[in-house]
Amino acid sequence: MKILVVGGGGREHALAWRLAQSPRVDQVYVAPGNGGTETASRLSNVNLTEPHALATFAQDNQIAYTVVGPEAPLAAGIVDIFQDRGLKIFGPTQAAAQLESSKDYAKAFMVRHHIPTAGYATFTDAQQARDWVSQQGAPIVVKADGLAAGKGVIVAQTVQEAHDAIDSMLGEGLFGTAGARVVIEECLTGQEASFIVMCDGKTILPMASSQDHKRLQDQDRGPNTGGMGAYSPAPLITPALHERIMREVIEPAIDGMRKDGIVYTGFLYAGLMIGPGHDATRPLKVLEFNCRMGDPEAQPIVMRIRNDLATVFEQAVNGQLDPLAIDWDPRTAVGVVVAAPGYPDQVQTGDNISALPQDTDSCVTFHAGTSRQNGTLKSSGGRVLCVTAIADTVQQARDNAYQAVEQVDLASCQYRTDIAWQALSESV
């Protein structure tokens, strides 16, 4: 069969790479793809991004089903467009994707369905927002309402910093319409984890747990990014916590959607803040919902899938998901993002990538912001690569990933040197 993967980042490279390993798959098309998916065996790029054009491509090329990676096409209604044309696609509808595309919608949804989350208020008026912050005090969190590629969140340590964030979003239009409304939240503390599930409308299939590193620099310093590295599993998510997350967050979210008249299909990602204490009682709150897999969480998660991913998605698009369909590799996978200079602000692109580590069964370089120009591989985006290794221990997986990162020949780049530090401090 032929499969279409929509997107062009590391997550989509990882999904396409694993799908192409299925003996049932002849070809995986990636739209628009990147410099890695362009040349990999049984993968090919399709230079399309517009949803109607993608639907026509799927129709003309007898695509068995389409898997959507990023949030933007989901928010634009790609699933609705495909379904209207009778095409199979895995992802949430535009209405369901509001869980990610509007933070205000997501917060009201959580309150309505008793899903634990930080207290909040929403504003469109800068002065009212500033007054609220002055009243509440710092630390406090200011979030652009709409999609801002993981960068529209300011965890303000002072009232002044929060006022500046409000002014840049509501006053100066830093995030355009995405920031024309802001959500101001109580600041939570604890450890973060990403909990991702697949849902076919009724059955939920949990992915392995994972943890992202959102800050640019080591020791969680610097600005928030789309994610600088991830690992799976996250030792923090014990079986007891897994069970609580399903019961307190995931099931109420899927049921809540149904009560609101929306059948949820696709990936559902809960970004969680987990406070101190015993697993049975420690605070567990949702920071955000995403309506897709995480990037870079997908890279280590997908690396741990041992069975035929093409069949899992086929079951999902046919409403026949099996909650135990994935055979997880018990080892740990660690992915280190190699980013371009200037990321996440003014990104420098167009640098030659002259050497990459050799892919092996246990270490793969997933491409993100790369493209080929006249056969030469160049950087073309903020996050350039995600080098992902799997091994018996966290330490070994991390060492292998960093050894491979050393072999990347990219004139200038930046990466964190402490990916998976939390897992290392928790494992023996």
Binding residues (CB under 6 A) for ligand GLY: these are 150, 212, 226-227, 290, 294-295, 297
Position 185 contacts ligand AMP (CB under 6 A):
yes
User: Which of ligand AMP, ligand GLY, none binds 294 (CB below 5-8 Å, type-dependent)?
Assistant: ligand GLY
Position 314 contacts ligand AMP (CB under 6 A):
no
Shortest Å distance, C-beta 225 to ligand GLY: 9
Shortest Å distance, C-beta 298 to ligand AMP: 16
Position 153 contacts ligand AMP (CB under 6 A):
yes
Shortest Å distance, C-beta 68 to ligand AMP: 19
Determine the Cα–Cα distance for residues 207 and 194; give it in Å rounded to an integer: 10
Q: Which is nearer to ligand AMP, 153 or 208 (CB)?
A: 153
Q: Which is nearer to ligand AMP, 188 or 390 (CB)?
A: 188
Of the candidate residues 141, 274, 353, 363, the single one contacting ligand AMP (CB under 6 A): 141
Helix axes 251-259, 94-101, angle to 10 degrees: 130
Position 224 contacts ligand AMP (CB under 6 A):
yes
Position 370 contacts ligand AMP (CB under 6 A):
no
Shortest Å distance, C-beta 118 to ligand AMP: 4
Of the candidate residues 170, 199, 241, 287, the single one contacting ligand AMP (CB under 6 A): 287
Shortest Å distance, C-beta 363 to ligand AMP: 27
Q: Which residues bind ligand AMP (CB under 6 A)?
A: 118, 141, 143, 150, 153, 155, 185-188, 192, 214, 224, 271, 287-288
